[in-house]
């Protein structure tokens, strides 16, 4: 299987024996969701993941996911209210946080009254309820209910079309970022970035202590995908991006989400960045042992779009069938990858290159795809960059990243089609390298005597940039 699986950890994966079965079933990246749980919960889970992965001989990366400025209503006196179409309803940022009723409710985001104007449409509870702003008076945002329903405590608020000014990194995020460095995550996801500046701020906060942590931009604001320049800026400021279809779909509308997903994946790949497709991919499996046909096609379509990874959220964090969900997702990915379209590539075929390692990586993939008898592409790598570039070209062949650095090894667990293996060259002579590399591939069952293997390496092992 070339497409990687990201699985969120939570109470479901904490059940005895479940985490080991999840990793054995094919999890490549575990997601630690900082919206829930304590620092100790995340530390305990990651220690267990690393121990199991080592025992099973697997490279499993860890993705810490910051909560970001999720804007929410406050709480109702009686826990929930029913809103009817046409009724007046007030969002009052000055109201006591526990005093909500059928006519008004507080809000945890005090600047909301400054960010909205008459005519704006607000979406509550992921778009299940819709209200239109009629006027703003001081702390009160007066609205008319367009689509009613039951509204309960702490539900999210989105503004259709985007435009809320909340910063991407809250005080909680900054504390969680320090925790992420401390427990040793491989990737850190930044929620709701509006532009490249938000990613640069996160990079600065990581500093030298978090220099080896890759940043993932979660694309969930309308502003982030409004034009190609903003999107490309965010992609270039990150190591990977996530198509976060929940909040993004609410802000831009479901009908615009389809093309936007494909555009994000295409742009990420053209900029040599990894991309994760997320949200509700197998949502029904929270409570059912089999996915719906619609979910099967959703996952398969993301695979055919050439996403690096598909992500599970509540399905594995809180669902009844976490292991079965991973097994189902793996089956669907393999089925989609057998289709010819998943193995054909025109990636950058008419473009020039400026980097030697990039030229070599893409040339190796081109040769591998066109020469009969090639079993694999093997890249000796200090950082994982050459396998990343090679993985931008669609292929049916495995790309093997041979790395002495465990951080680089885990980083590669996110890249489509890349198998990352430990390969310590410190005691080897230059003349031994090729033979030892080939022996490693045979031992893993990736190649057999008589196969061709295309091998990329540098003149100076363990040095970055010498491919």
One-character DSSP codes across 347-404:
TTTT-----HHHHHHHHHHHHHHHSTTEEEEEEEESSSHHHHHHTTS--SS-EEEEES
Token pair belonging to 118: 């008459």
Token pair belonging to 52: 């199991």
- CB distance 149 to 141 below 8 Å: no
- Among 94, 23, 81, 91, which residue's Cα sits nearest to residue 53? 23
Relative to beta strand 4-8, strand 29-33 is parallel
Q: Which residues are catalytic?
A: 31, 72, 218, 279
Tally Cβ neighbours within 10 Å of residue 309: 25
Q: How far apart are CA 46 and CA 177, in angstroms?
A: 15
Q: How far apart are CA 423 and CA 385, in angstroms?
A: 16
Q: How far apart are CA 251 and CA 447, in angstroms?
A: 48
Tally Cβ neighbours within 10 Å of residue 386: 25
Query: Rounded to a whole number, what is the largest CA-CA distance in the chain?
Result: 79
Distances (CA, A) of 87 to 98, 393, 465: 22, 54, 63
Burial class (CB in 10 A: 0-12, 13-18, 19+), 49: buried
* Strand residue runs (E) in 171-267: 187-190, 214-219, 240-244
Q: How far apart are CA 276 and CA 409, in angstroms?
A: 18
Distance of CA 72 to the CA centre of its chain: 23
Q: How far apart are CA 467 and CA 262, in angstroms?
A: 32
């Amino acid at each position: 299987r070339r497409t990687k699986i990201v699985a969120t950890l939570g109470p479901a994966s904490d059940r005895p024996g479940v985490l080991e079965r999840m990793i054995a079933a094919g999890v490549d990246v575990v997601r630690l969701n900082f919206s829930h749980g304590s620092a100790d919960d995340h530390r305990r889970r990651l220690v267990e993941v690393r121990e199991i992965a080592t025992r099973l001989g697997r490279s499993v990366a860890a993705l810490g996911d910051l909560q970001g400025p999720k804007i929410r209503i406050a709480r109702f006196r009686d826990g929930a209210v029913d809103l009817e179409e046409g009724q007046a309803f007030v969002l009052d940022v000055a109201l006591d946080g526990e005093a909500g009723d059928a006519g008004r409710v507080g809000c945890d985001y005090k600047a909301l009254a400054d960010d909205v104007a008459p005519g704006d449409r607000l979406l509550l509870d992921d778009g299940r309820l819709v209200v239109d702003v009629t006027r703003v008076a001081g702390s009160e945002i007066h609205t008319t209910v367009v689509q009613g329903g039951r509204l309960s405590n702490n539900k999210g608020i989105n503004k259709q079309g985007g435009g809320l000014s909340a910063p991407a990194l809250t005080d909680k995020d900054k504390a969680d970022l320090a925790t992420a460095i401390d427990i040793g995550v491989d990737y850190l996801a930044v929620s709701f970035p509006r532009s490249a500046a938000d990613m640069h701020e996160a990079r600065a906060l990581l500093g030298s202590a978090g220099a080896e942590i890759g940043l993932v931009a979660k694309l969930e604001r309308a502003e982030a995908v409004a034009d190609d320049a903003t999107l490309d800026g965010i992609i270039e400021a990150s190591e990977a991006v996530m198509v976060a279809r929940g909040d993004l779909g609410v802000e831009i509308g479901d009908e615009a989400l389809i093309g936007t997903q494909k555009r994000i994946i295409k742009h990420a790949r053209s900029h040599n960045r990894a991309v994760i497709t997320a949200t509700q991919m197998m949502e029904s499996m929270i409570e059912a042992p089999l996915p719906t046909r619609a979910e099967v096609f959703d996952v398969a379509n993301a695979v055919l779009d050439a996403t690096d990874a598909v992500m599970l959220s509540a399905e594995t964090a809180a669902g009844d069938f976490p292991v079965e969900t991973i097994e189902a997702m793996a089956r669907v990915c393999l089925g989609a990858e057998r289709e010819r379209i998943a193995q054909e590539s025109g990636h950058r075929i008419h473009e020039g290159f400026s980097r030697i390692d990039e030229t070599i990586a893409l040339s190796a993939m081109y040769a591998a795809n066109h020469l009969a008898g090639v079993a694999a592409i093997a890249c000796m790598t200090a950082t994982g960059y050459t396998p990343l570039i090679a993985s931008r070209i669609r292929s049916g062949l495995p790309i093997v990243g041979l790395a002495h650095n465990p951080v680089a090894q885990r980083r590669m667990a996110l890249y489509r089609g890349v198998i990352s293996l430990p390969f310590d060259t410190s005691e080897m002579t230059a003349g031994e390298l090729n033979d030892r590399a080939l022996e490693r591939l045979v031992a893993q069952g990736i190649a057999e005597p008589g196969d061709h293997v295309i091998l990329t390496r540098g003149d100076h092992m363990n040095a970055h940039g010498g491919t």
